[in-house]
Structure 1
Amino acid sequence: MARWEPNARERLQAAALELFEERGYDRTTVGDIAARADLTERTFFRYFTDKREVLFSGTEEFEKLIVSGVASAPETMSPLDVVVAALAASSPFFETRRATARKRQALIAAHAELRERELIKFTRLAGTLVASLRERGVAEPTAALLARTGMTLFQNAYERWIEDGKKRDLAHHMHASLAELRLLTAEPASAKPRRKASSGSAGG
């Protein structure tokens, strides 16, 4: 029977981030990570399929939060607001990762294989949103559009959250991104049709 190692996942994640920063992602091996965490490679592979997955742990938990958030949203809420509310509800999940979020994001930006993995993750999350919206009766094309819009808003909010010196939570930035989108897509007042002049107006 495998020996239980306390906090093994967290120790491996912390060790990996330290080594990625010290040696570089490409020069760090699974063996290096396990050794730094004072664990075996066998223990590493119990939690992660490869060193890349250390940076993407928690995707399944995030998906569950999305599904729960969409399902629990009030029936009267618009589909776009449902998507934003579901993504914003994940704020506590990300708050526990704030300390390492910037380092993680820098690593992903610097490596093509990690950017590809991030893209796959977002595609999977968008699919989860589509399926959840379909459960609420939203038509397929509309659900797909809303899911892609929601994930774009999430990415925008996540980047703002990482850089926020005031340390406001992700939910704040999700709602701020939605408000900005609505402002940018609002019909200008000058584009609204003018009222016709009454027949009794001057100059007739």
Structure 2
Amino acid sequence: MGRWEPNARERLVHAAVDLFAEQGYDNTTVSEIAQRAGLTKTTFFRHFPDKREVLFAGQEMHSRLLADGIAECAESATPLEAVAAGLDAVAASFTPVQREFGPRLIAVVTAHSELRERSAFKHAGLAAAMTEALEKRGVPDPAASLAAELGAHAFSRAFARWIEPENEESFPALARQALEELRAAVELLG
């Protein structure tokens, strides 16, 4: 595959996950990732600041989709209904390729403490984007931040279910289901 071919960003992500799975995160260099993708090290750094960030590509887009979904929701929607609309927007953006790729990504992230830490940071970023969008709708804190945390948690739970080989449900349906389960769990708290 030549350097001029499209999808350099996606190729780098796939190459990184494959190499991290084969030889470990610590034992993989940016040069190896670029070479596996058929690109140069310079091209890698045009897309990502370091090898850790290659695994979290799309966070900005996910945050934007969540916020846009919340903003575009009916004015009469409750905070959790608005979060559900945000989850619909972001979940609909995921492709079958991401579903097939997901288990390897999760395995690589789970195996390394630095990557687990970055994953937690991503979770916090998604929650912050939803909190800000809810506050712009006039939802006061702590309701905004609690609804956003439930949304971020629902997103993670739904993704984990979506990538299971036996799953036949769509990501948006799973995200709604996870959010409803979390809402019910909050009610049980009294």
Runs of 4+ in 1 over 3 A off after TM superposition: 181-187
Matches of 1:75 and 1:180 in 2, distance apart?
A: 24
The residue type paired with residue 122 of structure 1 is H
In the other structure, the counterpart of 1:26 is: 26
Match of 2:9 in 1: 9
Gaps of 5+ in 1: 188-204
Identify which range, 129-138 or 9-18, moves more after superposition. 9-18
Q: Would you say the 8 A contact 1:161–1:169 is kept in 2?
A: yes
Cα separation, 2, equivalents of 1:133 and 1:95: 27
Partner of 1:173: 174
What number of residue pairs does the alignment pair up?
186
> Is the contact between residue 83 and residue 130 of structure 2 (CA under 8 Å) also seen in structure 1?
yes
Q: What is aligned with 1:112? A: 113
| 2:91/2:175 contact within 8 Å kept | no
| 1:143 counterpart residue number | 144
Cα deviation, residue 179, structure 1? 3.0
Q: Distance in 2 between matches of 1:81 and 1:100?
A: 30
Q: Is the 8 A contact 1:95 1:169 kept in 2?
A: no
Amino acid at match of 1:43: T
> 2:142 and 2:187 mapped to 1: Cα distance?
22
Kindly indicate whether structure 1 or structure 2 has the higher relative contact order, using CA contacts under 8 Å at least 6 residues apart. 2
Tell me what 1:71 maps to: 71
For normalisation by structure 1, the TM-score amounts to 0.83
Aligned residues with identical type, % of pairs: 45
Shift of 1:184: 4.1
Does the C-alpha gap of structure 1 residues 186 and 141 become closer, same or farther in structure 2, counting only changes over 3 Å? closer
Residues 1:155 and 2:150 are matched in the alignment = no
Alignment partner, residue 191 of structure 1:
none
Give the corresponding residue for 2:101: 100
For the residues of structure 1 that align with 2:15 and 2:182, how far apart are their CA atoms? 39
**Comparing 44-53 with 148-157, which one deviates more in the overlay?**
148-157
> Deviation per CA, 1:122-161, whole angstroms, max 9, x where unpaired?
1111111111001101112211111112112222222211
Shift of 1:111: 0.6
Secondary structure in structure 2 of the residue aligned to 1:147:
helix
C-alpha change, 1:186 and 1:126, in structure 2 (3 Å) is: closer
TM-score normalized by the length of structure 2: 0.89
Partner of 1:198: none
- 1:48 match: 48
Task: Name the aligned partner's letter for residue 85 of structure 1.
Answer: A
1:90-130 Cα shifts (integer Å, max 9, x gaps): 12322341111111011111110001101111111111111
The DSSP-based 3-state class of the residue aligned with 1:75 is coil
- Indicate the RMSD between aligned Cα atoms, in angstroms: 2.0
User: Structure 2: any 5+ residue segments left out of the alignment?
Assistant: none
Distance in 1 (CA, whole Å) between partners of 2:119 and 2:85 is 22
For the structure 1 residues 155 and 124, does the alpha-carbon distance in structure 2 shift closer, same or farther, using more than 3 Å as the test?
same
Q: Counterpart in 1 of 2:59?
A: 59
- Which letter does structure 2 place at the counterpart of 1:119? A
The 2-side partners of 1:27 and 1:161 are apart by 30
